[in-house]
Amino acid sequence: MPEGGAILIFLVVGVVFGIGGIITSFLIHPRRKNAVKGEPYECGPPTQGPTWVRFKVQYFVYALLFVIFDVETIYLYPWAVKFNSLGMFAFVEMLIFISILVIGLWYAWKEGALEWK
């Protein structure tokens, strides 16, 4: 069987399983609604008054920067383990990678994304 046929079979099986799960859950889900099902469950007491809370965008900026530099360390670790056997080309590639991240950090710092207001 050619490689394209195997990929097509995996695609069809994946789609069938996905659609089959959605159809099965639609057919067997309970349909009775009552007031108890609308209450919060293990989420604290019911809210009083307006419940809209605005979060600062800076929380998300810090989280995004953390994820970026966390992913950077994930890529740096295997590179550091095999550093001696990779040669100069891999060293230059990693310098380019780190410089792109440093430029991004510098830009975020310059734009004031790291200042707490």
- Closest among 45, 42, 47, 61 to 113, alpha carbons compared: 61
Q: Of 104 and 49, which is predicted with more confidence?
A: 104
**Residue 14 forms part of a structural domain:** no
Residue 78 belongs to domain spanning: 57-110
**pLDDT, position 16:** 97
**Residue 41 forms part of a structural domain:** no
Q: Of 38 and 94, which is predicted with more confidence?
A: 94
**pLDDT, position 1:** 59
Compute the distance between CA of residue 99 and CA of residue 104 in angstroms, rounded to an integer.
9
**Residue 91 forms part of a structural domain:** yes
This prediction's pTM: 0.48
**Residue 29 forms part of a structural domain:** no
Q: Of 38 and 26, which is predicted with more confidence?
A: 26
Tally of domains in the chain: 1
Helices (H), 29-115: 57-81, 83-86, 88-110
Instruction: Give the orientation angle of helix 88-110 with respect to helix 57-81, to 10 degrees.
Output: 170
pLDDT tens across 43-98, in order?
667 777 777 777 777 788 888 888 888 888 888 888 888 888 888 888 898 899 88
**Residue 90 forms part of a structural domain:** yes
